[in-house]
Amino acid sequence: MSLRIFLLSAIIISSLNAKSFAQTKTDGQFKNWSAQNSNINNQLVCFAVSRPVSSDPKKINRAESRIFVSFRSTDNLQNEVSITSGYTYKPGSKVILTIDKNQFQFEVDDNYAWLTKYDQEASLVEIMQKSSQLNVMATSSKGTKTIDTFSLNGFADAYKAAKKKCNFNQNEKS
């Protein structure tokens, strides 16, 4: 898990930090989603990323929330879904992603959340390509509960662009 946390940290820092902006390249903007890539420790990491279209409660002090679907060709990893809600999660809590009538429970560590099974990631990505929005419910280390709503408008195109950039076969089942 430490490699996953390191790579996720590097992606998030690169996408948020103005000094590192040159390290993260945007491959395309697709409505509410963008396809980006970064070279992290000589490994190309590609990802589709989005910010929420709404957050509740509105007035709490936190960094921006993001959802990522990442690819790392060197490690042959694809469809890695991860979330940051802009704060440190309550230890032992779960981040709950709801999409259509489906719920996915994400494991948390510090300020990152991810699914631990590839079949769940692949299933979620498939549903994301067909749906219009998803909700992320999480609890901060201070006990504050948040709900972030993400539009999936543009996700399928950003996903395909990120997948192509990292040279994953476009004909494979997602």
Is position 36 within any domain?
yes
Is position 145 within any domain?
yes
pLDDT at 53: 98
Q: By the 8 A CB rule, do 108 and 136 touch?
A: no
Is position 171 within any domain?
no
pLDDT at 170: 52
Helix (H) or strand (E) run with residue 63 in it: none
pLDDT digit string, tens, across residues 13-46: 444 444 444 388 999 999 999 999 998 878 899 9
pLDDT at 11: 53
d(CA 82, CA 142): 21
Total count of domains within the chain: 1
pLDDT at 134: 98
Q: Provide the terminal-to-terminal Cα distance of the chain, rounded to the nearest Å.
A: 23
pLDDT at 142: 95
CATH number, domain of 131, equals 2.60.40.1880
Helix, strand and coil in the chain, % to nearest 5: 25, 40, 30
Below-70 pLDDT ranges, the chain = 1-22, 169-174
pTM for the whole thing? 0.85
* Domain region containing 147: 2-165
d(CA 10, CA 5): 8
Is position 136 within any domain?
yes
Is position 53 within any domain?
yes
Is position 174 within any domain?
no
Q: Which two tokens stand for residue 108?
A: 């948390």
Is position 172 within any domain?
no
Is position 13 within any domain?
yes
